[in-house]
Amino acid sequence: MLPHHLWLPLVAFGVAVATTWLAIRYAIKRQLVDMPGERRSHKVSTPRGGGIGIVVSVLLACFAVALLYPAAAVPAGVFAIGLMMVAGIGWWDDHRSLPALPRLLVHLLAAILLGLLVWMGSGSVIKALFCTLLAVSLINIWNFMDGINGLAVTQAILVAIGAAFLLPFPYALAGLVTAAACLGFLPFNFPRARVFMGDVGSGALGYVMAGLLSLGMSVTEVAIPVWLMLPAAFFIDAGFTLLTRIFNGERWMQPHTQHLYQRFVKREWSHSLVTGGYSLFTLCGITLAALFSRLSQGWEWAGGVIWVAATAVAWFFLRRQFFIKDES
């Protein structure tokens, strides 16, 4: 079993590097470039669509898993179909902007596939429904939060590593492969962005994150709130920003710069500093999640809920103390 640990993540890393490099050249040739603007956090024109490297790596890993573990062929295949749906509609949107409804319908169909896998794996309809909603949420959350250099991909790396730690072998390979694929993309996006993920990458990465968390909820007895501790920073920043915009009667589906990480950048904090701060916070969450996962179910639930609640309190405090005057 040890060789699988060694070569599968390494191959995922190498494929991500090569595919991202090719994606940059394709984007330049096709003029798939994001230009600076009032609602953007970058100051130079940058190619987009490099996240296809992560997608290709994960898809190849699904194929490899189907060969290595025949019993997992059907779940790996179904997940791959869902991932291709999300990545495909994102690729289309990168080339030609689409209305929100078609994208949401595709996201929902892919999420339903993931929910069906959870139902098959756990036998719980409640978990299946929860993971369906989780997938739709994370697809869009990763898209919303992919706005500065390295933020979305570093958070994905950390969530994947956290999931690998909480999952038993061989399921932990899913987290290791995902982290390796993201590491292959990272040098192209951080600290200086030579390419952006694009919708093809950010939405697909959110689906992969949902897949990892859903896998954990299906094959372990670790409480749901402990799994939600891993992406808590993104959940809270994206979720509460969205709710605030809805409550204020704003056009919440339009691009904006009201996420907390965007407010930090508007205050002249560097992308590296903001990305590092989010990473440090998520590392704390992963460490606590690892500790809580060794306790009884009651403590797991209590610890997970308290951490997510503490994240929400921190978000409200920072928003009120430092950024309320910048609201537009």
Q: Per-residue pLDDT for the chain (328 aa), expressed as one digit of tens each?
A: 445 567 899 999 999 999 999 999 999 998 888 776 555 555 677 899 999 999 999 999 999 999 988 989 999 999 999 999 999 999 999 898 888 889 999 999 999 999 999 999 998 999 999 999 999 999 999 998 998 999 999 999 999 999 999 999 889 999 999 999 999 999 999 989 899 999 999 999 999 999 999 999 999 999 999 999 999 999 999 988 888 777 877 776 666 677 889 888 888 889 999 999 999 999 999 999 999 999 999 999 999 999 999 999 999 888 887 665 554 4
Amino acid 53: pLDDT:
96
Amino acid 3: pLDDT:
54
Amino acid 326: pLDDT:
53
Q: Cα–Cα distance between 31 and 125 in angstroms, integer?
A: 45
Amino acid 2: pLDDT:
46
Quick one: which of 41, 32, 17 has its CA closest to 260? 41
Contact yes or no for 211/144 (Cβ under 8 A):
no
Contact yes or no for 189/149 (Cβ under 8 A):
yes
Q: Cα–Cα distance between 256 and 20 in angstroms, integer?
A: 27
Distance of CA 70 to the CA centre of its chain: 27
How many Cβ atoms sit within 10 Å of the Cβ of residue 309? 13
Amino acid 328: pLDDT:
46
- Which two tokens mark 11? 């191959």
CA-based diameter of the chain, in Å? 57
Please state the domain count of the chain.
Answer: 1
How many Cβ atoms sit within 10 Å of the Cβ of residue 317? 10
Instruction: Please tell me what DSSP assigns to residue 251.
Output: -
Amino acid 285: pLDDT:
97
Nearest 5°: phi and psi at 267? -85, 20
143 carries a ligand binding annotation: yes
Angle between helices 52-68 and 198-219 (to 10 degrees): 40
Amino acid 300: pLDDT:
96
Contact yes or no for 198/90 (Cβ under 8 A):
yes
Contact yes or no for 14/230 (Cβ under 8 A):
no
Distance of CA 217 to the CA centre of its chain: 17
For 255, how many CA atoms within 13 A lie in the half-sphere containing its CB? Answer: 8
- The burial of 194, by beta-carbon neighbours within 10 Å (0-12 exposed, 13-18 middle, 19 or more buried), is given as middle
What is the gyration radius of the CA atoms in the chain, in angstroms? Answer: 19
Amino acid 114: pLDDT:
97
Amino acid 255: pLDDT:
66
Q: Cα–Cα distance between 238 and 235 in angstroms, integer?
A: 6
Q: Cα–Cα distance between 120 and 117 in angstroms, integer?
A: 5
Q: Cα–Cα distance between 279 and 315 in angstroms, integer?
A: 15
- Which two tokens mark 167? 């999952």
Report the alpha-carbon angle 87-214-154, nearest 5: 60
Contact yes or no for 88/201 (Cβ under 8 A):
no
Give every CB contact of residue 25 below 8 A, 6+ residues apart in sequence.
none
- Which two tokens mark 36? 């600076």
| Structural domain harbouring 172 | 2-326
